[in-house]
Amino acid sequence: MAARWGQFVYTRRWVVLAASLLLFALSIGLIVRGGTLKNATNINAESVTGLNLEGQQLASANQGTTLQFVATDPALSARSPQFEQAVNAAFRRIGEDTRTTSVETPYNTDATNAPQLLSDTDHSILVNVNTKLDFATARQEYSELRAKVSSPVLTIYGTGLAALAAGIDSATEADLRLGEALSLPLALVVLVLVFGSGVSALLCLAVGVFAVSGGIGGAFALSHQTDVSTYAQNIVTLIGLGVAIDYSLFLCSRFREELANGRDVQSAVSVTMATSGRAIAYSGLTVAVGIGGLLFFQGSFLVSLGFSGAIVVGTALLYSWTLLPALLSILGPRVNRWRLPFLQRAQSTTSRTRQFWHVLANAVMAHPWRFLIPSVIILLVLGTPFPGITVTNSDTATTLPPSTEVHRALTLEQQQFPQTQLQTIDVVVDYGSSPLAAANVAKSFGLAKTLASLPGVQRVKSYVSVVPTTTLAEYQAHYARGLAALPPAQARQLQLGLGPTIAVISAQTAAPPASPAASELVSAVRQHDRVPGARTYVTGVPAFDQDWVDYLMSRLPWAVGFVVLATFVILLLLLRSVVLPVKAVIMTLFSLRAALGAMVWIFQDGHLSSLLNFTPGPIDATLPIILFCVIFGLSMDYEVFLLTRIQEAWLLSGDNRRAVAEGLQSSGRLVTGAAAIMVCVFGAFAFASVVIIKAIGIGMGIAVIVDATIVRALVVPSLMRLLGTVNWWAPRWLPAPRSLEYVARRGGSGP
């Protein structure tokens, strides 16, 4: 079928080229149209249910987004008239903006709230700018609003969730531009060295650009129908450039090889598609299956990454099966043009490189145990940090580098505003009736007392904890008259935690977010939050962090099982062997463990943190999942190409040892070039400012290096030598593979 497709593309090459260009134009149109990217989460968890209930019933949920700022001056007292005048001048423009409802400072708020906005050092204050905007709009318009706050006297930092979200959005866009600016020239250099031809190199690079454009356009189109992650563009670029350029490299190299063997252009295109084209189709399936593992995490932003990744892999395959063979059909032998002297020298080393891989393969197979055992030990050692991994939800300012404004603001808040560092665990009690009823007041009063007694709880805030000395009977008497009978300021404050049928009892703790102490307190609250006749939901940041990690870990085994099983089936159909897919899966797991071990060593333990400009800490719980799903598919890229070349040699000779040597000899240089291209693409994102993008780039680069060197060069030939003809065992019902001669006879004319 692949050979016949090659014939079809050759005979209709101009039509196929025109269709590819139209598709590219459509992709550009979708990119220009754009879309809104955001990391939305709506998982089936108690904390999310409680948060949604608060959003439905609490007045505070509909008050718009609050922008937070820190104003500081080490030489001025925050209580001085000069400091107050500077603050008023700095926030005058944003206060006059029609999107702003009020600007709250220590100088214009009530006496009970003012101390919360003053620092311990008396040189800094917090300012809350209340807006009419929902969070998504505030996130988009934050930069414009932030520009309205400035002072020649004070240093002012933007902080809070809106500032963090806007900072991540801005950083991911900058990371994307930087990654492309670094990776494309590096990939071009590698392609030129591999091919020794400028035309061939530019063809591969063009397919990569076309594929990424299609992937980003598809992600934007998807964002009009559902939520798509802000990380989608970076993931699409990482995966798209890597696989598209690699697939083009394999196809273009095979085409040049067939021309050099004396085939005409038509036959060369046909055989290229039947061999390398078929291999990259199966490779694309394995990558898509790996990324498809992200679809098991419904309700999280990982699903949109899965869809976006699948789109760009599909686009890369589409252009590799249409645009590239059409261009090869048009160019023919001209694909070898634009050779400069240094390119010719690079090309002249091809035979020596092929000989090197042949000698290496024979050396490994002559003493397989001598190479296999040390290689496995090295892989195990590289993965030793992995069992010590600590995962968490790291949606904090530490996601960004220490030099960013949000990160500096967080550090300043931690040092000077300890009162703002308390974490809040909310217990949402749904009575099904008014929480002001005497019986419900009594239940809330008892729950508040229980929460206050738990170790780690510093204080409890609720409508039954306003004044610690107030008795239950006094609260019941107050609320029997309704909130309207209370002073207006107190009534407004109480309404923030009361809805038609719910009451929010908040326990505050000094335990750091995502820490074991915070997680233990959430578990303790959930053990003591039962209220007779009512439903309770524990929510808040610490509760969500715990639910988020538990949710991801509970679905990870299903994702792993699906990816491993589906990959095995795909390789079984490609290689018509049972043993080789099992070996490939096991070796990929070794490479993955080594990459994850490196992630722990770098990003959790903090090695190279100064060089890479990040704050070490627990690993974001989504990072191992993304790395597994992406790396598992990508690592099969080289495995598929290597094993299909070995299979070709096996079908010709029937000699396992000779087949391995010839397969490694014919593919070694190309696979090395393909790995170098992926390392260049992934390594370029090591300079990203967003930690998760930086970690994904480094993790994928390490996995490719390990897989393309230790695994491919040493483990694969030694294992295949030890297994011998067992490598090619398959059940009788599985059709036997076809030889290259059969393909050539059926697919087109040739010698």
Instruction: List residues bridging with 129 in a β-sheet.
Output: 67, 103
Q: Which position has the token pair 């992995």?
A: 386
**Which is it for strands 457-461 and 391-392: parallel, antiparallel or unpaired?**
unpaired
Q: Is the separation of the CB atoms in 289 and 567 below 8 Å?
A: yes
| Tokens describing residue 285 | 């399936």
Q: Is the separation of the CB atoms in 457 and 509 below 8 Å?
A: yes
Torsion sign across C-alpha atoms 607, 608, 609, 614: negative
Whole-number pLDDT of residue 346: 47
Q: Which position has the token pair 């990217």?
A: 37
Q: Is the separation of the CB atoms in 595 and 631 below 8 Å?
A: yes
All residues at 6 or more sequence positions from 742 whose CB lies less than 8 Å from its CB, including other chains? none
- 145-148 contact pairs (CB < 8 A, 24+): 145/67, 145/94, 145/97, 145/99, 145/100, 146/67, 148/93, 148/94, 148/97
Q: Is the separation of the CB atoms in 146 and 405 below 8 Å?
A: no
How many other C-beta atoms can be found within 10 angstroms of the C-beta atom of residue 416? Answer: 21
All residues at 6 or more sequence positions from 285 whose CB lies less than 8 Å from its CB, including other chains? 570
Backbone angles phi, psi at 641, to 5 degrees: -65, -45
Q: Is the separation of the CB atoms in 207 and 324 below 8 Å?
A: yes
Backbone angles phi, psi at 325, to 5 degrees: -65, -30
Which domains are seen in the chain, by residue range?
1-33+197-334 (1.20.1640.10), 64-165 (3.30.70), 356-388+576-740 (1.20.1640), 406-543 (no CATH)
For 168, the 3-state DSSP assignment is helix
Instruction: List residues bridging with 68 in a β-sheet.
Output: 128, 159
For 509, the 3-state DSSP assignment is strand
Per-run averaged pLDDT (10 residues), the chain, 751 residues: 88 94 94 84 88 83 81 92 94 93 90 84 91 87 92 91 86 85 86 82 92 93 89 89 89 89 90 88 89 92 92 94 94 83 52 70 89 92 91 75 85 82 90 92 93 92 83 87 68 75 92 84 91 92 91 93 91 86 88 90 89 86 90 80 83 84 80 84 86 89 87 88 87 66 47 35
- 733-742 contact pairs (CB < 8 A, 24+): 734/572, 734/576, 735/576, 736/576, 737/575, 737/576, 737/647, 737/651, 738/651, 739/648, 739/651, 739/652, 740/271, 740/275, 740/648, 740/651, 740/652
| Tokens describing residue 418 | 């300890």
Q: Is the separation of the CB atoms in 325 and 272 below 8 Å?
A: yes
How many other C-beta atoms can be found within 10 angstroms of the C-beta atom of residue 502? Answer: 23
CA 13/CA 10 separation, integer angstroms? 5
Whole-number pLDDT of residue 748: 46
DSSP 512: P
Q: Is the separation of the CB atoms in 554 and 567 below 8 Å?
A: no
Quick one: which of 195, 310, 241 has its CA closest to 629?
A: 310
Whole-number pLDDT of residue 182: 87
**Which is it for strands 502-509 and 457-461: parallel, antiparallel or unpaired?**
antiparallel
CA 382/CA 438 separation, integer angstroms? 63
Whole-number pLDDT of residue 750: 41
Angle between helices 656-684 and 716-723 (to 10 degrees): 160
Q: Is the separation of the CB atoms in 285 and 637 below 8 Å?
A: no
Torsion sign across C-alpha atoms 713, 718, 719, 723: positive
Backbone angles phi, psi at 508, to 5 degrees: -110, 140
Backbone angles phi, psi at 512, to 5 degrees: -60, 150
DSSP 121: T
Measured CA to CA in angstroms, residue 424 lies from 43, 445, 539 at distances of 20, 18, 9
Q: Is the separation of the CB atoms in 51 and 40 below 8 Å?
A: no
E strand or H helix at 104, and its extent?
A: strand 100-104
